[in-house]
Each structure stands twice: as C-alpha cells, then as structure tokens.
C-alpha cells in the first residue's frame, strides 16, 4: 500500500470541511427518514455518493418503528450483508426492499 501524499494545511482543512458537510447531509437524511418526511423509495432513488455510501443497516434502523434487532432480521431475511452499502445493492435486493417499504403517502 502506498503512503498518502502529504497535504498542506489548507488542503487538510478543505478535506475536513468536505467530510463534515457530507456527514451533516447524511445525518439530515437519516433524521428525515426517522420523522417520515423522506420515504425509503425516495432515498433509494437518489444516486449520489452521500446516499450510496450509507450502510443499508443504518438506513433500516432510521426508519420509523425499526430498531437494531428488526433491522438485523430484515437484512437476514432479504439476504443482504450487514456491511452492504446502498450503492452495492443488487437489483433483486433493491426490489425486495422496495416491496417491503412501498411508497407511503
């Protein structure tokens, strides 16, 4: 593995700010899921890195009424790895998830 090139202090500060903005956006999305303002199908329809790099387990745990235990059961039932990220979901896995959590009004 090659070492990372040294960063200047301004490059480091810029990278930290970018990471912080991404974490804030992810936290905002999870809060919207929890409150019901955002549905799972709407979240999965986004194809950006912010959503793509979220772990599916974390997304499920953010849904109303689903906790740690239920999220684990759902992942097992849907044959989705605990470590799977949204961008790594296959077409069948995504379809099964959307079948369980259809668009709500």
Could you list the pLDDT tens digit for every one of the 105 residues in the chain?
Answer: 778 788 899 999 999 999 999 999 999 999 999 999 999 999 999 889 999 999 999 999 999 989 999 999 999 999 999 999 999 999 999 999 999 887 654
Q: Show the tokens assigned to 100.
A: 């369980």
Which residues contact residue 100 at a Cβ distance below 8 angstroms, ignoring those fewer than 6 apart?
74, 78
Q: Is there a domain that residue 96 lies in?
A: yes
Predicted TM-score (pTM) of the model is: 0.83
β-bridge partners, 85:
55
Q: Is there a domain that residue 26 lies in?
A: yes
What is the total count of domains within the chain?
Answer: 1
Task: State the residue range of the domain holding 41.
Answer: 19-100
CA 52 to CA 58: how far, in whole Å?
12
Neighbours of 51 (CB within 10 A): 18
Three-class DSSP category at 54: coil
CA 29 to CA 44: how far, in whole Å?
11
Q: Is there a domain that residue 92 lies in?
A: yes
Q: Is there a domain that residue 40 lies in?
A: yes
Three-class DSSP category at 85: strand
Q: Is there a domain that residue 14 lies in?
A: no
Q: Is there a domain that residue 47 lies in?
A: yes
The CATH number that applies at residue 35 is 1.10.8.50
Q: For the chain, report the end-to-end CA distance as a whole number of angstroms.
A: 49
Q: Is there a domain that residue 7 lies in?
A: no
Q: Is there a domain that residue 11 lies in?
A: no
């Amino acid at each position: 593995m090659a070492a990372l090139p040294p960063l200047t202090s301004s490059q480091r500060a810029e990278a930290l700010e970018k990471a912080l903005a991404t974490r804030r956006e992810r936290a905002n999305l999870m809060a919207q899921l929890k409150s019901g303002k955002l549905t799972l199908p709407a979240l999965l329809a986004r194809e950006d890195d912010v959503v793509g790099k979220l772990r599916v387990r974390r997304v499920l745990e953010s849904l109303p009424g689903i906790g740690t235990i239920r999220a684990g059961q759902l992942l097992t039932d849907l044959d989705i790895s605990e470590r799977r990220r949204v961008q790594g979901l296959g077409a069948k896995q995504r379809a099964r998830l959307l079948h369980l959590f259809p668009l709500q009004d």
